[in-house]
């Protein structure tokens, strides 16, 4: 249930309608309604491990089969999920000139909803690459195999091991991708949707947008540590908030001339 007033929603819709450039960054809260586990908070366990125990180069070097067991389970789980209303709204918005969609999610649901030119900050769970970057393999390739018959999966080019093409804890974001994301902070409205906006470097984008003069908005189920730093928080299930905003954006403007 939405807890913000209609005045707040109308105010945001007017800003979105008038904006020449809008950027949104999404997090796990966008995919929650699709049934994708978040792996954060008290329930963020798989067997006896937390994500931070497994999503590291050190964990993969130590026990690639264990890490792949987790990723293979995640891939199977995500394969059964469908895009929800939040994904569909954001997909429509990517058709608008000047709209940039950045996601911290690796589940690929934005793309399955039809979103265009998604900037995947942490990569995709559906892309893999050779652990040893063998000469015969491309830098990265799509692999929809679910489940893998052998763990860890072998590289089809050299017989070694492949790894998920995601950004693990301690790894660096691709500089070219980061530059595109940073450039998108030069916008009129910046939305942080379903993300706590506290995990850097992704969290720095909304704060950089605010520094550059953008109207900054958080859409989340509950307040986050970033709430007091942004211009406005819309609280409620993100799929409901986005559907209502999308409806209001399509209405004639109520903004004063």
Q: Mind telling me the catalytic residues?
A: 122
By the 8 A CB rule, do 208 and 201 touch?
A: no
Distance CA 125, CA 70 (A): 11
Radius of gyration of the chain (CA): 19
Tokens 């987790």 belong to residue: 70
| Strands 99-103 vs 119-120: parallel, antiparallel or unpaired | parallel
Beta bridge partners of 142: 127
SS3 123: strand
Q: ∠ at Cα 133 (27, 54), nearest 5°?
A: 40
Distance CA 151, CA 205 (A): 36
Distance CA 56, CA 50 (A): 11
Q: How many CB atoms lie within 10 A of CB 80?
A: 10
By the 8 A CB rule, do 236 and 221 touch?
A: yes
């Amino acid at each position: 249930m939405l807890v913000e007033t209609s005045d707040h929603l109308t105010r945001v819709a007017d800003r979105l309608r008038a904006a020449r450039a809008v950027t949104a960054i999404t997090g796990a809260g966008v995919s929650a309604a699709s049934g994708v586990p978040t792996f954060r908070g008290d329930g963020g366990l798989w067997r006896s491990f937390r994500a931070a125990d497994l999503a590291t180069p050190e964990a993969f070097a130590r026990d690639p089969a264990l890490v792949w067991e987790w990723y293979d389970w995640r891939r199977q789980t995500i394969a059964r999920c469908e895009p929800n209303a939040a994904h569909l709204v954001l997909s429509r918005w990517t058709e608008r000139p000047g709209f940039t969609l950045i996601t911290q999610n690796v589940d690929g649901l934005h793309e399955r909803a039809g979103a265009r030119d998604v900037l995947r900050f942490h990569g995709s769970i559906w892309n893999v690459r050779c652990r040893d970057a063998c000469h015969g393999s491309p830098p990265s390739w799509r692999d929809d195999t679910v489940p893998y018959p052998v763990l860890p999966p072998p590289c089809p080019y050299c017989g070694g091991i492949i790894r998920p093409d995601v950004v693990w804890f301690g790894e660096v974001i691709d500089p070219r991708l980061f530059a595109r994301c940073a450039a998108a902070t030069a916008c009129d409205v910046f939305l942080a949707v379903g993300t706590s906006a506290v995990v850097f470097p992704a969290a720095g984008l909304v704060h950089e947008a605010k520094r550059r003069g953008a109207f900054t908005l958080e859409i989340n189920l509950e307040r986050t540590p970033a709430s007091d730093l942004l211009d406005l928080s819309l609280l409620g299930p993100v799929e409901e908030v986005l559907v209502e905003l999308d409806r209001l954006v399509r209405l004639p403007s109520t903004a004063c001339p």
